[in-house]
C-alpha cells in the first residue's frame, strides 16, 4: 500500500467507526464496505468527512461505481488515487 493509501486507510477507519458506530478496534482493512453497514448515504458522509479531515478533494468520477463491494483498504487506495 502506498503511503497516501496508508494515511487514507487510517483516516477512513476512524471515520467509518464514527459513521457506523462500529468500534474502531473491530474494523479491519479487509472488511467489505457494505458489510460494515455503509449504505449510499453513509458513503457520502464518509467521503465528505475524509475530504475535511485530510484537507483534500476527491475526483468522484475516478472512484469505482460499485464501491459497496470494495474492502476498506481497496476504498482507501481508490480514494488516494482520486485526490485532485
Per-residue model confidence as pLDDT tens digits over 9-39 = 999 999 999 999 899 999 999 999 999 999 9
For the chain, the distance separating the N- and C-terminal CA atoms, rounded to the nearest angstrom, is 19
pLDDT at 72 over 90: yes
Number of domains in the chain: 1
Range of the domain at 24: 3-81
Per the rule left: phi > 0, alpha: psi between -120 and 50, beta: everything else, 11 is: alpha
Residue 62 pLDDT level (bands cut at 50, 70, 90): confident
The pLDDT of residue 8 is 87
CATH number at residue 32: 1.10.1200.10
Amino acid at each position: 500500500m502506498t503511503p497516501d493509501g496508508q494515511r487514507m486507510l487510517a483516516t477512513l477507519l476512524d471515520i467509518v467507526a464514527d459513521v457506523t458506530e462500529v468500534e474502531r478496534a473491530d474494523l479491519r482493512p479487509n472488511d467489505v464496505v457494505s458489510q460494515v453497514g455503509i449504505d449510499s448515504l453513509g458513503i457520502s458522509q464518509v467521503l465528505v468527512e475524509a475530504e475535511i479531515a485530510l484537507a483534500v478533494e476527491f475526483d468522484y468520477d475516478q472512484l469505482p461505481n460499485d464501491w459497496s463491494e470494495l474492502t476498506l483498504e481497496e476504498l482507501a487506495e481508490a480514494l488516494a488515487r482520486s485526490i485532485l
